[in-house]
Homo-oligomer: A and B are copies of this chain.
């Protein structure tokens, strides 16, 4: 498939490279085409990789990943262009972390709203599927790195078919076994996964190891 990865940070590069490995064509999008991060990634990523503006990537893609910093996601998607987003799936892995007051970051939106909901409300024809935002990017694309892959990934979104497609074509392909994927419900459930970030950061701070995840036990 033709996939856009919006964002050239560690998350975008990790997901982009995994998608290339899986045989997809990936266009990485950023504010300005030809930036150093995107070009460095291109060299590593091989012939199915390309880069351009957010709009170039969105126009190219059948499905998109939002890997931009959460506080800039809405602007990035505006630059991508609503006409290039309509009826497409956006896999939203971002978190609204606000570092403007130092560490630890706060959330720029939470409690009665979430970034996932804001994106869905701003682009009603986009099928937003919030997932993978509760862990380090190395685990997103390789859950088998820890505990034999037996830990949880959450999915939230309003479109059941889109969630099914992301679960099968993306999460399973990344290595997530069906029984590890928990569908929390509609896009309002993005609140819980985004508001988990402060606990994630606290656990990371207490253990000095980001390669962890949570497993639900009962």
Residue-wise interface mask of A (130-166) relative to B, using a CB-CB cutoff of 8 A (1 in contact, 0 not): 0000000000000000110011001010000000000
CB distance from A113 to the nearest CB of B (A): 10
Main secondary structure of the interface of A (DSSP, over half): mixed
A184 in contact with B203 (CB, 8 Å): yes
Number of interface residues of A (CB under 8 A): 39
Name the one of B147, B183, B191 contacting A218, with C-beta atoms under 8 angstroms.
B147
Name the one of B193, B203, B213 contacting A199, with C-beta atoms under 8 angstroms.
B193
Q: CB-CB < 8 A to A42: which residues of B?
A: none
Q: CB-CB < 8 A to A218: which residues of B?
A: 146-147, 207, 209, 211-213
Cα(A211)–Cα(B146), bound, Å: 25
A74 within 8 A of B: no
Interface residues of A in 186-218 (CB under 8 A from B): 189, 191-193, 195-196, 198-203, 205-207, 209, 211-218
Assuming the contacts A110-B111, A195-B196, asked whether A189 and B217 have C-beta atoms less than 8 A apart, the reply is: no
A112 within 8 A of B: yes
A78 within 8 A of B: no
Name the one of B182, B202, B214, B217 contacting A146, with C-beta atoms under 8 angstroms.
B217
Cα(A217)–Cα(B211), bound, Å: 9
A residues adjacent to B (C-beta < 8 A) = 106-107, 110-112, 146-147, 150-151, 154, 156, 182-185, 189, 191-193, 195-196, 198-203, 205-207, 209, 211-218
